[in-house]
Amino acid sequence: MTVEEKLGQLQQLPWAVSTGPGGSETKDVEDAARAGRLGSVLNIFGAKSSNALQRIAVEESRLGIPLLFGLDVIHGLWTTFPIPLAQASSFDPEVSRRDAEVSAKESRSNGVHWTFSPMMDVTHEPRWGRIAEGCGEDPYLTTAFAVAKVEGYQGEKDGKGGKGGKDGKGEKGSGLDAKDRIAACAKHFVAYGGAEGGRDYNTVDVSESRLRNHYLPPFKAALNAGVATVMASFNTISGVPAHGNSHMLTDVLSREWGFDGFVVSDWNGVDELVAHGFAEDGADAARLALNAGVDMEMASTDLAKHGKKLLSSGRIREQRLDEAVARILRLKFALGLFDHPYVDEGAAIDKPSAEAREAARETAARSMVLLKNDGKALPLKKSTGSIAVVGPFGDSDDLLGTWTFPGAAKNFPSGKVLAAVKAAAPRAKVTYAKGVDPEGKDTSGIPAAVSAARRADVTVVVVGEPPAMSGEAAARGDISLPGGQEKLIEAIAATGKPFVVVLVNGRPLTVGGWLKSAPAVLEAWHPGLEAGNAIADVLFGEVNPGGKLPVSFPRTVGQIPVHYNHESTGRPYAADNKYTSKYLDLPPDPQFTFGHGLSYTSFEIGEPKLSRDRVPARALREGDTLEVSVTVRNTGERAGDEVVQLYVHDIAASITQPVRKLRGFRRVTLKAGRSKTVRFQLGADDFGFWTNAESGEFRVEEGAVDIYVGNSSEAEAKKRLTIT
């Protein structure tokens, strides 16, 4: 390969999705492909378009190296699943696996080889719009979902559970070259969720121990699961931008962890090293990024423009260039692109299948969280004579959520709550009044909504955020219900008639004073394609909600950050002592804590039992484990799901530990009156921690550890373990 061809493999350019090959907007991409100076294209989809561009690269370039096509398939292509934050609420990683499997099949059939997902940025910042794309505030929960999604996209690393023939060329298979698999990308590496103020692209100042204990675990687990690629993050990490951070990209990712896939920049991330004040110009940015460990440049073209001069001047080494090219070519071989560069245009999936729709409906309902249910206001009875649906999202088909495929949003919008309520209660008289716009201050429509509520036996108030208010570049300084929506709820409450509130949103909200007046609140998030049906399934009890919050809901924005896994201070909160860590005007806890979620039935979780109450630290370091068992019983009158959660607290350590850390969870389905014993195995990873040593030091120390088991992060039942 010539130097230009090698540099070309490191270049990813965006496709103008409004035109196909031959259009003026795509000429630069086609010319680069024809010259063999292009490695990847993002935002191209469709079997016909992708094949046409691929033919240029394969049949007209000198070496015929196929292109790698990437697309942001975040929670579905045609079949839009609930947003990732909602999926995490299920506390069931199989939910994300189903999303990834359906997404991979639909995407690969349309010429897409690679998705920029999963996002595994742990965050304590609900103002950050991209919290919708992740799994919330806990690294352990995020890790479980990251692994499931990687395996759903790519197949399991060891090939177990594969669905196809031995050669992987059948309709289904377990390898990346199968027709129903795509390469995954672990993003954003790293600590993007710690952006100051929740503002996108912002600074992160973080210790090595916080990096290794809080932000890095999901990435390490994804690598162990075989993730093909990693994306660098936009933020700085203690002053060093991630795209030029050799400690993270080379020392940790490549050398310490042995990652042999490739690192892709985020959009324009290499060139933005100049704006960061880290690089002098584009050539300097290219040098810094490649030498730090970035292998492919997305959108900007600094490596392609300046790489040859950088190489001849010795500012980048040919060995490093060859390494980056080899990493990219290995993925193309693994995907089978050299043998099968084109897709079957006649087999392209162009709409959600009935099976995929059912999966979207089931996972959406499984991801909903019952926040409040006073007086058993829910479930609603199908025999109810009259129902009012009010609120800006009651008759909306815009509930897919952030980062949805444009073609899906246009052709396959979300199902409406109003229509689903009518279908669920066919004998009821169902009326609708919008009340207020999603963001507008105009309250002139509230009287009509009040009138509808007065005439109905019960009212369903559907409020929340438009999807555009969460996701990338969607930070909010005020995370209450926008516009006049709170006034609408207050007006409905003032009627004195029964009502319930459904929240559709992409982040935790401050729910304000209206919460006290609402008998029941269902957190539905942005549920995706089958939004209306899934919400109705839960409202009318076809599905008993069993989801739990993967992130705390603050009382006000002034309380942020507020999260369950905080560290203790030297003066922890005490209600009767002013001189402790507190606000004068707020309780110390969030409105709703991590792990919270109610059910239409009731559960009793017993006292945890340890297989032994003492274990040597040395034995743990050598792989020994102990078992924690607990019995959960359905004490109610109907079947339901409970999530048994296990937390640990290291009483005293050489580095202060969180007051609690999630180290186990299990979603259990039980019929009324039935019980089940849940068992957890705990080892070194659960009791140890990383120090601030940059070279990586993991410790399991002697001392006392409290082990809590319950149905939220506020679990009280505990046993003490002594590590000797």
Rounded Cα distance, 284 and 719, in Å: 56
Rounded Cα distance, 166 and 262, in Å: 27
Rounded Cα distance, 31 and 18, in Å: 18
Rounded Cα distance, 52 and 303, in Å: 26
Rounded Cα distance, 258 and 2, in Å: 28
Is residue 312 a contact partner of residue 300, using CB atoms and an 8 Å limit?
A: no
Runs of H (alpha helix) within 549-605: none
Is residue 276 a contact partner of residue 284, using CB atoms and an 8 Å limit?
A: no
Give 158's DSSP letter. T
Assess whether 266 carries a catalytic annotation: yes
Is residue 183 a contact partner of residue 113, using CB atoms and an 8 Å limit?
A: yes
Rounded Cα distance, 107 and 117, in Å: 13
Q: Which amino acid is at 579?
A: Y
Rounded Cα distance, 558 and 556, in Å: 5
Rounded Cα distance, 30 and 67, in Å: 11
Rounded Cα distance, 101 and 118, in Å: 13
Q: Catalytic pick from 266, 295, 537, 641?
A: 266
**Helix, strand, or coil here: 635?**
coil
Rounded Cα distance, 364 and 83, in Å: 9
Beta strands (DSSP E) in 383-473 are: 386-390, 429-433, 458-464
Rounded Cα distance, 269 and 623, in Å: 41
Structure tokens at 714: 């506020």
**E strand or H helix at 516:** helix 514-517
Is residue 266 a contact partner of residue 276, using CB atoms and an 8 Å limit?
A: no
Minimal CA–CA distance to 174: which of 153, 191, 146?
153
Is residue 365 a contact partner of residue 522, using CB atoms and an 8 Å limit?
A: no
Structure tokens at 605: 């979780």
Buried-state track 383-418, b at ≥16 Cβ within 10 A, e below 16: ebeebbbbbbbbbbbbbbbbbbbebbbeebbbbbbb
Provide the sign of the torsion angle of the four alpha carbons 432, 437, 439, 443, taken in this order.
negative
Mind telling me the catalytic residues? 266
